[in-house]
Chains A and B, each alone.
Chain A
Amino acid sequence: MRMLTRVINQYFLLLLLVSQAPLAEPVSEAQLGQELKAYRDLKELAVTFHQTKHLAEMNLDLRSEGRMALKRPDEVVWEIQKPSRVTVQINRKEISITSAGERQVLKISELSHDNAARGFGLLMPWLTLDTAALVAQYEITSGADHTFQFVPKQGNSTVVKMRAHLTPAGHLDKLQLFEKSGDTLEILFATPRIKR
């Protein structure tokens, strides 16, 4: 029954993974640290997005838009605003999901390691911009035109790979997630507002 939480949580993990850091050349820690310098020392970050989910089974595209906010050290808000408002808030202790006037709060410690703890572990390097942990958890390779590919080192993730594109200024503007089920998600980010 907590599948929804799992889904949302993983979504954040993956999203924050790339949204908080423009990725550098593969794959040394020093290079990654250099690429993340635009986000170094930030206290707060806010960014809007448009996303398209392609459901392979139904050949159906679901389009939505919203905003994401990060407040260090560990508060994250992910909000889909259109077509309907779904807000997910995460901190170290709990995840809350608010949708259609209902709020569901789940404690991190009660959630499956597979669904939350491991995901939270993945999230933490991005919250702290821990480049060493990022390199440890992902195979990162770079392509042409500021494109980077992230493949989770643990094979049981629902996302098999991610592709991110950075602007010349080092901000993430496009992220694609490729899921095990065949579904894909493409997210287009606006320029983030950063407070240091």
Chain B
Amino acid sequence: MTRFLVSLALCCSYAQALPNWVDSSHTILLPSEVSEPLSATHEFPLFWWNFVVLHLEGSAWEQVDDFCKRFNRDTKAWVRKSACGQDLSQFEELLRAWAADQDRREPAPTKRELKAALTATLAKASLPGAAALLPVLRSDPLGSYRKLQDLLLARLQLKLETQHGYLFDPVTQRIAIPIQLDFPPNETAKTKAFQAAMEQALAEFKGLHLAGMIGPQAATLSNERQIYQDVHMISWAGVFLLLAQIVVAVAIRRWRLLLLAPPVILSTLLAGVATYFIFGRIHGLTLSFGPGIIGLCLDHGLHSCLNPDWKGAWKANWYGLLTTVVALVAMLFSAIPFLRQLMVFSILGLFFGFAIYWFLHRCFKRYFSVEPLMIEPKPNRLKLAFTLSALAALVVGGFLLRPSFGMQQMNYQTAADQELMQWFFAHLPSESPLLQVYGGSGGALAPSLAQKRFAQEHKIELDTASRYLPSVSEQEDHLKAWRGLCAEPRSAEETLFFAPFWNSICTPGRGAETLDRGTPPAYLRDFYFHQRWVSLWHTQNPHQADLVRTVYPGLKSLVEIVNLFQTLLERETRWSIPLSIFLATLLLWHYYRDFYLVALSLVPFLVGMGVFAAAAMAFHFAISFISLIAMVMLFGLSLDYGIFATNLYTGRAGPTGPGVWTSVVFAAVVTFLGFLPLIFCHHPVLVHLGEALVCGTAGTILGSVWGIPCLHWIIRETR
């Protein structure tokens, strides 16, 4: 379960810093049939458990006890339940609610059994040091808390031995302390405060060291922290690079190029507003990646700016835009809502950008005309060899590289974290439970009882609300029988000492708990969130899982939900990538009516992919979902460059060489510099984006200025 919880936090962590009106939920990443169970993993408190892992030096067990006392005291504000030490007050509310509902849950004892339990409990209470235990003894004289203890222990599935009251691994000398936090994983400010208090408490104990913290809150904070650090670094590098570009533009006396930036910003804003109105909200991930795609419209601005007098420039731009858009349109039919929203945002932004540049060019041509640099690449054998090598690398990479679109790919972990997670997962059961979310206004007890009956019939372990509370009719029978005990004579000691117990069972008008009246009892709150309930099917083998699915179709384990993201993407990329390339090729054919020119215009894309493939093989880059988004961007920009450069070889009157090459080089350099800082980041989301775009853009620019002229040259020579 925890494997999933950890990976879950990942996909959205980078969106946490966004304003509240921006959607930052992960539900957009999956189709609706699986997004609901996925939501459960951060909404239901059942999944808010984290494990604080301590390394014990020597055998300083007394330090662990002292640490727990300090820890429980100092972190009280953020912790719902702590299994650090044996502090009964951590479970006080739970025990009280459990004891109070004993008359609903349990059949009433006989008069004799009750009398025996009362006297035995008084005997226990007469032992020294019982002060902390008194509330439990007074409200639960029949000791029903032991059943709750068994249920809770069964829920904790960590296979570690217990030593001195702690889950302990003698091989690594690690102690795992389960802590349930009192807030969902996305409230990272609270996690930060909790961790600070924990580390401060730990600092006083020399024999104890924090090995790490495992769980959804810990993973979310870890990812967010790294994103912040990376973004901080990118911001400074970005400012420096932007200033450098401004200085260069002014130094080469082409400051008007700077006027091309505001239209990109304006089109992004317009696309954002339009997307918001279409979808009702806009996801943080769309805002993170969309502007990068919309920025491709700068290619068209540069192209027209540097070829102001060529009438075919806007036709070339138009086809450049369309070839980009077909790639996006193919992904518009994705089953993943996020991709659909991202594509709508990007398509709208590209069209807005195109329209604004066209308008500015038409109305303010003199402000949007720039003298090109004298760039005229000459083909030679070295450049040709590079181009052919890149194409060969693409072919080899196609066989050797295997993308992994799993959500885990987007999780930030240090080497120490990875080692800790591997150790932790080695102690978890291999089967992940099936997750069932149910309920609504009709109440949870009836469906939960049906689940329980099925589980009992087929000997499947199930953790559900009805495991803790019987049916309404049973409850009513129990209540009636318990109330009959109120009239029994009792001693003054028994009356006074067990007052909480008598008050509970003898309250007039006490009815059955139907679980449809708002907040449920404390012992069931882990399973409840806003009128919805969750059950966990602990199936032991695939046969049991299939059996459950025959009655409750569509149930998935937590691991399966995570894997589904990868499965969906793999399934979609199988048709969307060939379709995008096919549609773009059709458009190019429509533009050129010549297959040779079509092939030539695809060279920058192929070389860009080849350079990325070579780098990925050489440096073991991971190819993830983020890399896929980068590829879409690369496809868009490389076809723009391909069309602009190929227009020089049509054999008809066209643009000037310097105008085309300057626009291609400027556009590529701006893109390259824009994404360069990303490769120095540490968070995989940013690193994957940076690796693909920096290598891909570098390959694309070389494919344009070296590849197209060289291939044209060698083919012409051959002919």
Show the binding face of A for B, using Cβ within 8 Å.
1-4, 6-8, 10-11, 14, 51, 53, 55, 57-58, 60, 62-64, 80, 83-86, 99-100, 102, 104, 109-118, 156, 158-159, 177, 179-183, 185
1/0 per residue, CB under 8 A from A, across B137-177: the answer is 00000010110010000000000001111100000000000
- Report the minimal beta-carbon distance from A109 to chain B, rounded to whole angstroms: 6
CB contact between B133 and one of A7, A102, A114, A179 (< 8 Å): that residue: A7
* B residues in contact with A3, CB < 8 Å: 86, 88, 132-133, 136
* B residues in contact with A63, CB < 8 Å: 126
Given contact pairs A112-B165, A113-B165, A60 touches B128 in the complex (Cβ within 8 A): no
- Report the minimal beta-carbon distance from B121 to chain A, rounded to whole angstroms: 8
* A residues in contact with B131, CB < 8 Å: 57, 158, 179-183
Is A62 within 8 A of B128, CB to CB?
no
**B122: CB under 8 A from chain A?**
yes
Given contact pairs A62-B125, A80-B126, A109 touches B119 in the complex (Cβ within 8 A): no
Is B128 within 8 A of A117, CB to CB?
no
- Report the minimal beta-carbon distance from A52 to chain B, rounded to whole angstroms: 8
Cα A177 to Cα B128 with chains together (Å):
8
Given contact pairs A7-B130, A10-B129, A183-B130, A113 touches B119 in the complex (Cβ within 8 A): no
Cα A180 to Cα B66 with chains together (Å):
17
Is A6 within 8 A of B129, CB to CB?
yes
1/0 per residue, CB under 8 A from A, across B109-136: the answer is 0000000110110111111111111101
Is A60 within 8 A of B132, CB to CB?
no
Is A4 within 8 A of B119, CB to CB?
no
* A residues in contact with B116, CB < 8 Å: 84, 100
Known: A7-B128, A85-B120, A113-B64. 11 other contacts (CB 8 A): A14-B128, A55-B497, A63-B126, A80-B126, A83-B119, A84-B119, A86-B123, A86-B124, A99-B123, A114-B85, A183-B130
Is B129 within 8 A of A112, CB to CB?
no
Given contact pairs A62-B493, A111-B165, A117-B61, A158 touches B128 in the complex (Cβ within 8 A): yes
Cα A37 to Cα B163 with chains together (Å):
37
* B residues in contact with A110, CB < 8 Å: 162-165
* A residues in contact with B62, CB < 8 Å: 113-114, 118
Cα A5 to Cα B130 with chains together (Å):
10
- Report the minimal beta-carbon distance from A138 to chain B, rounded to whole angstroms: 16
- Across the two chains, which residue of chain A brings its CB closest to B61? A113
**B426: CB under 8 A from chain A?**
no
- Report the minimal beta-carbon distance from A121 to chain B, rounded to whole angstroms: 10
Is B120 within 8 A of A114, CB to CB?
no
- Across the two chains, which residue of chain A brings its CB closest to B113? A100
- Across the two chains, which residue of chain B brings its CB closest to A61? B493
Cβ < 8 Å to A, chain B residues 445-481: none
* A residues in contact with B164, CB < 8 Å: 109-113, 116-117
- Across the two chains, which residue of chain A brings its CB closest to B132? A3
Residue of B64, B122, B143 most packed against chain A (CB within 10 A): B122
* B residues in contact with A180, CB < 8 Å: 131
**B230: CB under 8 A from chain A?**
no
Cα A57 to Cα B125 with chains together (Å):
13
Is B120 within 8 A of A179, CB to CB?
no
Is A60 within 8 A of B496, CB to CB?
yes
Is A53 within 8 A of B120, CB to CB?
no
Given contact pairs A1-B149, A3-B133, A62-B122, A115 touches B127 in the complex (Cβ within 8 A): no
Is A53 within 8 A of B125, CB to CB?
yes
**B65: CB under 8 A from chain A?**
yes
* B residues in contact with A53, CB < 8 Å: 125-128, 130
* A residues in contact with B66, CB < 8 Å: 114, 156
- Across the two chains, which residue of chain B brings its CB closest to A53? B126
Is B146 within 8 A of A1, CB to CB?
yes
- Across the two chains, which residue of chain A brings its CB closest to B131? A181
Cα A118 to Cα B145 with chains together (Å):
26
Show the binding face of B for A, using Cβ within 8 Å.
61-62, 64-66, 69, 85-86, 88, 116-117, 119-120, 122-134, 136, 143, 145-146, 149, 162-166, 493, 496-497
Cα A8 to Cα B123 with chains together (Å):
11
* A residues in contact with B119, CB < 8 Å: 83-84
9 cross-chain pairs, A with B, having the tightest CB-CB distances, nearest first: A112-B165, A181-B131, A114-B65, A84-B119, A113-B61, A158-B129, A53-B126, A84-B120, A62-B126
CB contact between B128 and one of A2, A4, A11, A80 (< 8 Å): that residue: A11
- Across the two chains, which residue of chain A brings its CB closest to B149? A1
Please name 15 pairs of A and B residues whose Cβ atoms are closer than 8 Å in the assembled complex, sorted by A: A1-B146, A3-B136, A7-B132, A53-B127, A53-B130, A55-B125, A62-B126, A84-B122, A99-B124, A102-B143, A113-B62, A114-B62, A179-B129, A181-B132, A185-B127
Given contact pairs A11-B129, A100-B117, A158-B131, A115 touches B165 in the complex (Cβ within 8 A): yes
- Report the minimal beta-carbon distance from B513 to chain A, rounded to whole angstroms: 24
- Report the minimal beta-carbon distance from A180 to chain B, rounded to whole angstroms: 8
CB contact between B127 and one of A11, A100, A104, A111 (< 8 Å): that residue: A11
- Report the minimal beta-carbon distance from B161 to chain A, rounded to whole angstroms: 8
Is B86 within 8 A of A112, CB to CB?
yes
Given contact pairs A1-B146, A58-B496, A185 touches B126 in the complex (Cβ within 8 A): yes
Is B128 within 8 A of A159, CB to CB?
yes
* A residues in contact with B149, CB < 8 Å: 1
Cα A115 to Cα B166 with chains together (Å):
12
CB contact between B166 and one of A8, A80, A112 (< 8 Å): that residue: A112
* A residues in contact with B117, CB < 8 Å: 100
Cα A122 to Cα B284 with chains together (Å):
60
Is B126 within 8 A of A99, CB to CB?
no
* B residues in contact with A64, CB < 8 Å: 122-123, 126
* B residues in contact with A1, CB < 8 Å: 86, 88, 145-146, 149
* B residues in contact with A158, CB < 8 Å: 128-129, 131
Cα A112 to Cα B63 with chains together (Å):
11
Cα A10 to Cα B127 with chains together (Å):
9
* B residues in contact with A11, CB < 8 Å: 127-129
CB contact between A2 and one of B120, B134, B165 (< 8 Å): that residue: B165
Cα A183 to Cα B497 with chains together (Å):
14
Is A55 within 8 A of B134, CB to CB?
yes
- Across the two chains, which residue of chain B brings its CB closest to A109? B163
- Across the two chains, which residue of chain A brings its CB closest to B162? A110
* A residues in contact with B497, CB < 8 Å: 55, 58, 60, 62
Cα A135 to Cα B127 with chains together (Å):
25
- Report the minimal beta-carbon distance from B164 to chain A, rounded to whole angstroms: 5
* A residues in contact with B128, CB < 8 Å: 7, 10-11, 14, 53, 158-159, 177, 179, 183, 185
CB contact between B123 and one of A58, A84, A181 (< 8 Å): that residue: A84
Cα A6 to Cα B165 with chains together (Å):
11
Given contact pairs A1-B145, A7-B128, A10-B129, A83 touches B123 in the complex (Cβ within 8 A): yes
- Across the two chains, which residue of chain B brings its CB closest to A86? B123
- Report the minimal beta-carbon distance from A150 to chain B, rounded to whole angstroms: 13
Cα A29 to Cα B493 with chains together (Å):
44
- Report the minimal beta-carbon distance from A118 to chain B, rounded to whole angstroms: 6
Cα A38 to Cα B596 with chains together (Å):
112
Cα A181 to Cα B205 with chains together (Å):
27
Given contact pairs A7-B130, A84-B120, A158-B128, A114 touches B493 in the complex (Cβ within 8 A): no
- Report the minimal beta-carbon distance from B340 to chain A, rounded to whole angstroms: 50
Is B129 within 8 A of A159, CB to CB?
yes
* B residues in contact with A115, CB < 8 Å: 86, 165
- Across the two chains, which residue of chain A brings its CB closest to B88? A3
- Across the two chains, which residue of chain A brings its CB closest to B95? A1
Cα A102 to Cα B85 with chains together (Å):
25
* A residues in contact with B129, CB < 8 Å: 6-7, 10-11, 158-159, 179
- Across the two chains, which residue of chain A brings its CB closest to B491? A83
Residue of B85, B124, B128, B130 most packed against chain A (CB within 10 A): B128
* B residues in contact with A102, CB < 8 Å: 143
Cα A53 to Cα B86 with chains together (Å):
24
* A residues in contact with B86, CB < 8 Å: 1-3, 6, 112, 114-115
* B residues in contact with A10, CB < 8 Å: 128-129
- Across the two chains, which residue of chain B brings its CB closest to A4? B133
Cα A179 to Cα B493 with chains together (Å):
21
Given contact pairs A1-B145, A6-B86, A7-B133, A112 touches B65 in the complex (Cβ within 8 A): yes
